[in-house]
Structure 1
Amino acid sequence: MTASTTPGTPRIALITGGSRGLGRSAALALAADGVDVILTYVSNEASAQAVVSDIEAMGRRAVALRLDVGDSKTFAAFAQAVKAALAATWQRERFDFLVNNAGVGLHVNFEDMTEEQFDTLYNIHFKGTYFLTQKMLPLINDGGRIVNVSTGLTRFAMAGASAYASMKGAVETLTRYLAKELGARGIAANTIAPGAIETDFSGGMVRDNPQVNAMVAGFTALGRAGKPDDIGGAIAGLLGEGNRWVNAQRIEVSGGMLV
């Protein structure tokens, strides 16, 4: 059993893919709530450091570390990098919140999907989430929390998302098992399932294509496509003290898509 965070000490969140999009929004929303952040990036260090600077300007502490969530062979070394960052920046051995957010979009119809494309999605979205969480467990405080990012596409089906949505469906099942198996340590695990969001995901399809954006708005009850801050705020809220009893849940944050 690991020790819980001492009352009065800052909480620390590890957010994968925190240099842009939903991860960046979650990092900033958590910082606004008084949470320090370790964020990861895969290639754009400048963007990651810009988020670190934004968090520091809010009076919080932050560190950016490189991580390719699609390469599970690097996770042991990444765990050591997290341990070193915790010791150097916070003089601590463990963090409180893990947000498995990093991912890529791939819009390919079922009949055209290649094994290579399928394996890329599997390695990033499911295998990466599974084994990175496993490697991080010794570094998560008892009483900590895990949030896995899924998609509305596990509830409703749209052509071109069969492999991506299947990986996220697996993540949703994994989340319930994490809640069951980690409950003895007081660790809660939940899934956030965004709807269509205006980011660079899938080549910026929702953000940059007016026809797609209008279509999304048309079948969303609140009448627009989602913004990154709609999701970042939801993640921060789920990790807030008022939601500490929420566990093993899939929470869709879609503005009411296809209801």
Structure 2
Amino acid sequence: MGALAGKVALVTGASRGIGRAIARRLARDGALVAVHYGARKGAAQEVVEEIGKAGGQAFAVGSLLGVAGDAEALYEAFGAGMADRGEEPVLDILVNNAGVSGSGRIGDASPENFDRLFAVNVKAPMFLIQHGLTLMRDEGRIVNISSAAAHRSFPESVTYAMTKGAVETLTLAVAKEVAGRGITANAVVPGFVETDMNARRRETPEATAALAAHSVFGRMGQPADIADVVAFLASQDARWVTGQCIDATGGTAL
């Protein structure tokens, strides 16, 4: 029996990249996983099918984040998915992974882009947590995906870095707020990971090598590297870890 048998997890932005790896890992550990997607329904369904073929359980949940009423819409879709399985809409693990980047330097910033990044990267996780806590069982787990950009000077994407700093502040506040129910809240801090989000930064072998050089291991991170850390935080083994930002950068800038 897996470490997460009997648990229900919701992973946002799980149709690709880090979210996809997290969904697969939590399902492998026994959780029923709601695979959230924004626009990539086909990709999310592929994740569900992969999990099913591996002996796990999952269903897709479609909802656009960063728009009015997004949290309510997501949980409505989540409830419908649970009902289709004959299950009550309960939650044990919430992973706020969905995010957008592309802000550029401060001279390139625009109010429209600023608002979009904060809506998706900060506002959505906050209200997904707020609504999720009404469904979450005691001893639950909240894991927010942050970024090394919040810990080091990253002028190339200043607004994105700001959003991740806000996510970490949110994590601290939530951890203390929910401790009475035995719920933990933590953030995972990836560095450069081989995902679509970083594709433009590794268009040549030289560019990829430059990114890999940030890690003491001399390689870029893989989505599974982050998923394994999330799986630990989602497990009973992490019951005494809360309010933390776990560095998963492969020793970047040591």
- TM-score, structure 2 normalization: 0.94
Structure 1 residue aligned with 2:234 = 239
Structure 2 residue aligned with 1:186 = 182
Which of 44, 48, 51 is matched with 1:55 structurally?
A: 51
- 1:125–1:168: 8 Å Cα contact kept in structure 2? yes
Which one is further off, 32-41 or 78-87?
78-87
The alpha carbon displacement at 1:75 in A equals 2.1
Once the two structures are superposed, residues 193-220 of structure 1 have per-residue CA deviations (whole angstroms, 9 ceiling, x without a partner) of: 1001111005x13454433321122221
Find the aligned partners of 1:179 and 1:71 in 2 and give their Cα distance.
26
Structure 2 residue aligned with 1:258 = 253
The alpha carbon displacement at 1:237 in A equals 2.0
Find the aligned partners of 1:233 and 1:91 in 2 and give their Cα distance.
27
The alpha carbon displacement at 1:8 in A equals 9.3
Q: Tell me: CA distance 1:8–1:67, structure 2 relative to 1, closer, same or farther (3 Å).
A: closer
- Structure 1, unaligned stretches of length 5 or more? 1-6
Structure 2 residue aligned with 1:3 = none
Find the aligned partners of 2:188 and 2:55 in 1 and give their Cα distance.
27
Find the aligned partners of 2:248 and 2:5 in 1 and give their Cα distance.
30
Q: Tell me: CA distance 1:195–1:23, structure 2 relative to 1, closer, same or farther (3 Å).
A: same
Find the aligned partners of 1:112 and 1:9 in 2 and give their Cα distance.
47
Which of 5, 8, 21 is matched with 1:25 structurally?
A: 21
* Secondary structure, counterpart of 1:252 in structure 2: strand
Q: Percent identity?
A: 38
Structure 1 residue aligned with 2:200 = 205
Letter of the structure 1 residue corresponding to residue 220 of structure 2: A
Structure 2 residue aligned with 1:93 = 89
- 2:195–2:223: 8 Å Cα contact kept in structure 1? yes
Pairing 1:214–2:209 present: yes
Which one is further off, 130-139 or 186-195?
130-139
Find the aligned partners of 1:9 and 1:225 in 2 and give their Cα distance.
31
* Secondary structure, counterpart of 2:185 in structure 1: strand
- 1:41–1:65: 8 Å Cα contact kept in structure 2? yes
- 1:86–1:92: 8 Å Cα contact kept in structure 2? yes
Q: Tell me: CA distance 1:195–1:60, structure 2 relative to 1, closer, same or farther (3 Å).
A: same
- 1:150–1:168: 8 Å Cα contact kept in structure 2? yes
Written as runs of structure 1 = structure 2, the 5 A alignment for 1:10-21 is: 10-21=6-17
Find the aligned partners of 1:182 and 1:70 in 2 and give their Cα distance.
24
The alpha carbon displacement at 1:107 in A equals 4.6
Structure 2 residue aligned with 1:136 = 132
Letter of the structure 1 residue corresponding to residue 166 of structure 2: A
- 1:15–1:39: 8 Å Cα contact kept in structure 2? yes
Aligned-residue Cα RMSD (Å) equals: 1.7
- 1:18–1:39: 8 Å Cα contact kept in structure 2? yes
Structure 2 residue aligned with 1:119 = 115
Q: Tell me: CA distance 1:28–1:218, structure 2 relative to 1, closer, same or farther (3 Å).
A: same
Find the aligned partners of 2:71 and 2:4 in 1 and give their Cα distance.
31
Find the aligned partners of 1:198 and 1:33 in 2 and give their Cα distance.
23
Find the aligned partners of 2:5 and 2:27 in 1 and give their Cα distance.
14
- Structure 2, unaligned stretches of length 5 or more? none
* Secondary structure, counterpart of 2:69 in structure 1: helix
The alpha carbon displacement at 1:186 in A equals 1.3
Written as runs of structure 1 = structure 2, the 5 A alignment for 1:31-110 is: 31-89=27-85, 91-110=87-106
